[in-house]
């Protein structure tokens, strides 16, 4: 195996609470809503509460909590999110169901939820015959909870939270005409029972939502041990969700991770350090889920306000990754990848020795790949042009000179890694 090949040495195991991992992934996905940041978590809690009134056992209720939370893992686009909250049914909804099912299958602990995710926008009367009766109810419950939350959000756009208590019949009445076609009559009856409780509505408010979810998860011990392959699969699943947000970010995270792994191989980093940094590279842009599509795909220069909005994505990434991979440096490396050695970077404006060696590697790989990739405002740059731009950055004291010299001496191999699309 040469220095440019992937090192297969294991990172080691990680013990996780699957419910909290689902919650963290959901919070990242909820960034896509931009203004509405809690849709997935509310759908999960509504699924759990309705399943309680249906008499389902604790294990099944918790299955529904997670299924509801991660049901929209195929939604990376703010435009798609808007369509899904504007319309009861949308002809394009199946696309994100297919993507979400594929994403969930790629991470083994989420694979049991893939069928529910795949069909969560199917009408009750049109669910495929190959699904068993229980799976049909599971997937339709997610659809019902999802549409209920859309109706609730529409009402709250013009009303205060407390006003839903007097409007519960009005809101469920908007769904009633679709019972028997879009929604199962039995599941809708469970919703009608659940909405009678004041706590049902209050728990859906942001002030109480996470507390209600964590209290529910406390009654369910589902710690699982992940091996190295599982940890990488989780990182790759989230990175695929990020990269699916825009055709111009497609494969960006994977290629930055590949570049990082190659460069740390040339630097003779120990295997565990290489794998940790690769994970940070995979997920360094998870905060961009919160960036509106029109900014990421803008063909011209960003306005001052658009630029300022972009500046927040490293810290959004840090919040997600701190929760997903506690007690590791992954979150900090990802949060600092836009810092520059001369202090001109963001979000902290750090300089010199404040920026550690691993962050410097991630930063130079991110810059190299971004320049190699086609963007909305320019075509892919040839390797010589990439080197010219980075040479000026080195002259300005922005990037590490020793790392740039290493990139320069291996530029052709690294360029092929950066532009690979498969």
Q: Is residue 239 domain-resident?
A: no
| Structural contact between residues 82 and 98, judged by C-beta atoms closer than 8 angstroms | no
pLDDT at position 87, please? 66
The residue behind tokens 């220069």 is 301
Q: Answer positive or negative: Cα dihedral of 370, 373, 376, 379.
A: positive
Q: How many CA atoms lie within 13 A of 388 on its CB side?
A: 5
Comparing 40-54, 233-247, 327-341, the range with the smallest average pLDDT is 233-247
Share of the chain above pLDDT 90, in %: 60
Does one domain contain both 155 and 301? no
**Greater pLDDT, 77 or 73:** 73
| Together in a domain, 215 and 279 | no
Q: What is the pLDDT of residue 367?
A: 97
* Residue 180 zone, left/alpha/beta (φ > 0; ψ -120 to 50; rest): left
Query: What does the mean pLDDT of the chain come to?
Result: 88
pLDDT given for residue 260 in this prediction: 97
The verdict on 218 and 296 lying in the same domain is no
- 280 pLDDT band, cuts 50/70/90, is very high
Tell me whether residue 365 is in a domain: yes
Instruction: Decide: residue 35, CB within 10 A, 0-12 exposed, 13-18 middle, 19+ buried.
Output: exposed
Residue 349 has pLDDT above 50, yes or no: yes
pLDDT for the residue 417 = 96
Q: Which one is predicted more confidently, 308 or 292? A: 308
Tell me how far the alpha carbon of residue 196 is from its chain's centroid: 33
Instruction: Please name the residue ranges forming H helices in 157-289.
Output: 168-175, 185-194, 198-202, 206-217, 228-243, 252-266, 271-283
- In this structure, the answer to whether residues 129 and 166 fall within a common structural domain is yes
Please tell me the predicted confidence (pLDDT) of residue 1.
28
Calpha distance 236→391 (Å, rounded): 31
Q: Identify which of 29, 28, 46 has the alpha carbon closest to the alpha carbon of residue 142.
A: 46
Mean pLDDT of 49-68: 96
In terms of Cα–Cα distance, which of 315, 338, 242, 267 is closest to 29?
242
pLDDT recorded at residue 265 = 97
Q: Is the pLDDT of residue 200 over 90?
A: yes
> What is d(CA 339, CA 334) in angstroms, rounded to the nearest whole number?
10
Domains in the chain, number: 2
Give residue-wise pLDDT tens across range 243-259: 666 665 667 888 999 99
Of 230, 255, 251, 248, the closest CA to residue 240 belongs to 251
Lowest mean pLDDT among 216-230, 309-323, 370-384: 216-230
Q: DSSP string covering 336-401, please?
A: TTT--TBS--SSS--BGGGS-HHHHHHHHHHHHHHHHS-BTTB-PPPHHHHHHHHHHHHHTT-S-H
pLDDT, tens digit, 9 for 90 and up, residues 94-145: 888 999 999 999 999 999 999 999 999 999 999 999 999 999 999 999 999 9
Q: Verify cis geometry, omega within 30 degrees of 0, for the bond prior to 146.
A: no
Q: What is the DSSP string of 202-223?
A: HTTSHHHHHHHHHHHHTT---E
Burial of 90 (0-12, 13-18, 19+ CB in 10 A): middle
Closest among 406, 400, 399, 401 to 268, alpha carbons compared: 406
Is 184 inside any structural domain?
A: yes
Model confidence at 166: pLDDT above 80 = yes
Helix (H, G, I), strand (E, B) or coil at 183: strand
| Cα–Cα distance measured from residue 224 to residue 156, given in angstroms and rounded to the nearest whole number | 38
The pLDDT-based confidence of 82 (bands split at 50, 70, 90) is low
User: Helices H, strands E: what count in the chain?
Assistant: 22, 2
Query: Same domain for 20 and 160?
Result: yes
Residue 224, H or E segment: strand 223-226
Pair 401, 265 in one domain = yes
Same-domain pairing of 189 and 150:
yes
Q: What is the CATH number of the domain that holds 251?
A: 1.10.3210.10
Catalytic residue list: 288
**Structure confidence at residue 310 as a pLDDT band (50, 70, 90):** confident
Give the pLDDT score at 229.
Answer: 78
Tell me what pLDDT residue 422 has: 63
Domain extent for 166? 14-223
| 34 has a pLDDT exceeding 60 | no
pLDDT more than 70, % of the chain: 90
Question: Does residue 229 lie in a domain region?
Answer: no
pTM: 0.79
Q: Is residue 5 part of a domain?
A: no
In a domain, 240, yes or no: no
Query: For residue 254, what pLDDT is reported?
Result: 87
The confidence score (pLDDT) of residue 398 equals: 98
């Amino acid at each position: 195996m040469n220095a440019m090949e992937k090192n297969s040495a294991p990172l080691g195991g990680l013990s996780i609470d699957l419910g909290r991992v689902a919650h963290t992934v959901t919070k990242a996905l909820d960034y896509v809503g931009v203004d509405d940041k809690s849709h997935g978590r509310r759908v999960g809690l509504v699924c759990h509460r309705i399943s309680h009134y249906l008499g389902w056992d604790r294990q099944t209720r918790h299955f529904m909590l997670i299924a509801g939370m991660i049901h929209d893992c195929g939604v990376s686009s703010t435009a798609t999110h808007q369509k899904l909250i504007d319309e009861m049914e949308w002809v394009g909804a199946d696309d994100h169901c297919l993507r979400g099912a594929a994403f969930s299958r790629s991470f083994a602990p989420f694979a049991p939820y893939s069928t529910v995710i795949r069909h969560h926008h199917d009408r009750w009367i049109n669910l495929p015959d190959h699904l068993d009766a229980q799976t049909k109810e599971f997937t339709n419950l997610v659809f019902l909870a999802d549409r209920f939350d859309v109706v609730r959000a529409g009402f709250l756009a013009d009303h205060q939270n407390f006003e839903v208590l007097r409007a519960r019949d009005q809101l469920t009445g908007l769904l009633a005409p679709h019972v028997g076609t879009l929604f199962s009559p039995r599941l809708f009856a469970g919703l009608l029972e659940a909405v009678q409780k004041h706590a049902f509505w209050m728990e859906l408010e942001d002030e109480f939502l996470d507390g209600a979810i964590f209290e529910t998860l406390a009654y369910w011990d589902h710690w699982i041990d992940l091996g190295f392959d599982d940890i990488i699969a989780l990182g790759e699943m989230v990175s695929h969700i990020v990269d699916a947000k825009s055709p111009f970010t497609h494969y960006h995270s994977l290629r930055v991770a590949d570049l990082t792994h190659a460069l740390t191989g040339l630097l003779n980093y120990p295997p565990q350090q290489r794998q940790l940094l690769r994970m940070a590279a995979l997920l360094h842009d998870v905060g961009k889920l919160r960036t509106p599509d029109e900014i990421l795909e803008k063909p011209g220069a960003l306005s001052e306000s658009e630029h300022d909005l972009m500046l927040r994505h490293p810290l959004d990434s840090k919040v997600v990754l701190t929760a997903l991979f506690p007690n590791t440096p992954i979150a900090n490396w990802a949060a600092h990848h836009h810092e520059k050695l001369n202090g001109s970077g963001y979000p902290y404006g750090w300089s010199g020795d404040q920026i550690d060696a691993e962050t410097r590697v991630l930063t130079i790989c991110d810059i190299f790949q971004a320049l190699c990739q086609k963007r909305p405002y320019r075509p892919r740059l040839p390797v010589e042009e990439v080197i010219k731009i980075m040479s000026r950055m080195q002259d300005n004291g922005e990037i590490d000179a020793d790392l740039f010299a290493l990139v320069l001496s291996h530029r052709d191999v690294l360029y092929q890694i950066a532009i690979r699309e498969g």
